[in-house]
Amino acid sequence: MSEVEELLKAYEKFVSLPWKDDLSGAEKVWFVVYDPPQERRIRFRFPEFETVTKKAKHNWISLDLTDAFARWMAGHRYREAYFESPEDMEPALNDFTDMVVKNIMDLLSSSDADNNTIVAITGLASLFGLTRASAVLEKVTSAIRGRLLVFFPGRHEGSLYRLLDARDGWNYLAIPIKAE
């Protein structure tokens, strides 16, 4: 069985379990953890995660962050200057982080995202080098009503998560879902 098939199987078991309502926001975050080279295979099979979720009688909403930076940069008034001198962009990246947080918060607080809804986030790797995934997630956990499902290309060891295996990890209360 491939890693993606094992992840789907593990996710199906996990999403079918009864949900506790008395958890903190950080405890309502689930990470589907996989090797970064599996990203394209995960994306190809992404609709199956939705199908499994609905089979377990939960709602599904998704957000792809892959083009978030391109959209932010395209609308930025100093974009031409940043292309000429990328090092000048560093202070503005806080605005980029705020935009990503707002996009996720808007989805989490929408009328479609209730206590029975999985809000799935893909494209986390596209934030690498621009903002820290941990900073984004810490700012959105208070708005989670159902569950936040984050597709996480990286490693999980103990309570330590490492995005793309490249940075020192961070401790997080998220529940890992990994291939068996």
- Report the distance separating Cα 53 and Cα 65, nearest Å: 21
User: Which residues, 6+ apart, have CB-to-CB distance to 165 below 8 Å?
Assistant: 36, 154, 155
Locus of tokens 């996480």: 152
Runs of H (alpha helix) within 56-110: 68-74, 79-84, 93-108
Which residues on adjacent β-strands are paired with residue 60?
Answer: 118
pLDDT confidence of residue 157 = 78
Domain locations in the chain as residue ranges: 3-13+28-178
pLDDT in tens, the chain (180 residues): 788 999 999 999 999 999 998 898 888 999 999 999 999 999 999 999 999 999 999 999 999 999 998 898 888 776 676 677 777 778 778 888 999 999 999 999 999 999 999 999 999 989 888 888 888 999 999 999 999 999 989 888 777 776 776 665 555 778 888 887
Backbone angles phi, psi at 157, to 5 degrees: -140, 115
**pLDDT tens, position by position, 132-148:** 888 899 999 999 999 99
Predicted local confidence at residue 168, as pLDDT: 56
pLDDT recorded at residue 171: 56
Question: What does residue 161 show for φ and ψ, rounded to 5 degrees?
Answer: -115, 135
d(CA 66, CA 47): 17
